[in-house]
Amino acid sequence: MSGLTALEALITVELESGPVSAIAGRAAGEQPAEATIVVAHGAGAGMEHPFMAGYTRALNDAGFATLRFNFAYREAGRKFPDRPPAAIAAWREVVAVAAARAASEGHAGTPVWAAGKSFGGRMASMAVAEGMEVAGLVFLGYPLHAPGKPEKPRDEHLPAVTVPMLFLQGRNDPFAIPNEQLDEVAQRVGPNAVVEWIEGGNHSFEVKGAKRPAAEIGAGLAAPTAAFVRAH
């Protein structure tokens, strides 16, 4: 893969289901990374998408190590996402790799966070609900329900998650309309869940009338992520 920055390296992660590609990003500067943030893609695009690259690279510049990876279905060129058991298993294995990489670089014990776009974030939260250990979660557009179907929310596992959770959500995201539904979920979960609304943003965080490259949009979500991680 071409186009990596000086802080990035293409690696292979050996999952139980087979190898997948990942991009490890080092924190800029001389200081050790404040944390490692593992980032998963959404259902329709892989780790190489400009949104993903912009987000992780801005986190590297802010002093965080990152590890973005492909789920097995994406690695194999399939369009339909992996079933939750496979995606959850992948999350557990990639988080273990991230922790091992930090230890091998002399930073054992550095916090590992999980972040994900839509499907990737939801699968991370399900993994944590089932016992995966991370310091916290960041959702880049949580798919609370299918568009137009708020009566079928995907929130049943969230009360079992006790680590800090940041929901970065576009006001015009059809996966979270009505907005009050996600606010109510966060209130029900408790003070460890925080919703930060992006005014005018859709599911890709695009704002009508303010056209920006996907990499720039992703990069813009790094600052609230960094602030939340540092606060916890």
* 11 three-state secondary structure: strand
- pLDDT for 215-226, tens place per residue? 999 999 999 999
The one-letter amino acid code at 130 reads E
pLDDT digits (tens, 9 = 90+) for 49-58: 999 999 999 9
Q: Which residues lie closer than 8 Å to 133 by C-beta, 6 or more apart? A: 95
Closest CA to 114 of 130, 128, 131, 101: 128
One-character DSSP codes across 193-223: EEEEEETTB-TT--BTTB---HHHHHHHTHH
What is the C-alpha separation between 186 and 131, in angstroms, rounded? Answer: 20
> What are the boundaries of each domain within the chain?
8-231
- DSSP designation for 85: H
Q: Residue 1: is its pLDDT beyond 50? A: no
pLDDT above 90 covers what percent of the chain? 92
pLDDT band at 106 (very low <50, low <70, confident <90, very high): confident
Which of these ranges, 50-64, 100-114, 132-146, 188-202, has the smallest mean pLDDT? 100-114
CATH superfamily of 8-231: Alpha/Beta hydrolase fold, catalytic domain (3.40.50.1820)
The reported pLDDT for the residue numbered 105 is 84
Per-chain mean pLDDT for the chain: 95
Summarised one tens digit per residue, pLDDT across range 111-142 is: 999 999 999 999 999 999 999 999 999 999 99
Q: Buried b / exposed e across 90-114, counting CB within 10 Å, b at 16+?
A: bbbbbbebbbebbeeeebeebbbbb
